[in-house]
Amino acid sequence: MSENKIDNNCLSFCQPSEVDLQKRDFLVKATAATGAVGVAAVAVPFVGSMLPSERAKAAGAPVEVDISKLKPGEKMTAEWRGQPVWIVRRTPEMLDKLVKHDDQLSDPNLEVPQQPEYCKNKDRSIKPEFGVMLGTCTHLGCSPNDNFAMTADWDGGFVCPCHGSKFDLAGRVFKGSPAPKNLLVPPHQYLTDTTLLIGDDKKAEA
């Protein structure tokens, strides 16, 4: 009789109370949450490692540019190696003007290597319609302004606001400008008709 009483008391004593059950549930949930955070902490750097870092971009990682919305006569700006890259969609009239002022240019025949070999042509481009060049003056690094309005004395191009250097629509510098060289044409290629890759020209064709 006494043994049964002891066993019943023991069972009653050993039975977890409502408070204990709540504590146990809390500990289980807390442990699971901590584990999930740990997994996330490992996963985030792993996923991040697959994305190009800002340092990689600054070091010259290629940049894809969608030019599908660029209209004739317009210019857009991309960024590569921390510098502006201009993409100009030239009209037939603009292209026609490029061959009419060679006598006014410092380097009309592109003797100074400011462009890849596949851009060593009158348009300084892979596709005549699209001009691709760094928007940085070769004098002291200012960014020239657009001046596409054609007049009797001006066939359209760029004028540096700092010291007055002038460049045509192919980025060729005019005589008398402080800038000693043409605007630089970066390595580039077309992945599709509307996607330009700046900074990589392994598949580019002359």
Residue-wise pLDDT for 28-79, tens only, equals 565 555 554 454 444 444 444 444 555 555 556 899 999 999 999 999 999 9
Question: Does domain 55-198 bear CATH number 2.170.190.11?
Answer: no
166 phi/psi in degrees, rounded to 5? -120, 140
Quick check: helix, strand or coil at residue 21? helix
Residue-wise pLDDT for 177-203, tens only, equals 999 999 999 999 999 999 999 999 886
* Boundaries of every domain in the chain: 2-49, 55-198
Cα→Cα distances 17→8, 22, 26, 30, Å: 16, 9, 14, 20
Does residue 10 carry a pLDDT above 60? Answer: no
Angle at 174 between CA 155 and CA 108, to 5 degrees: 90
Angle at 22 between CA 20 and CA 23, to 5 degrees: 65
Residue-wise pLDDT for 74-103, tens only, equals 999 999 999 999 999 999 999 999 999 999
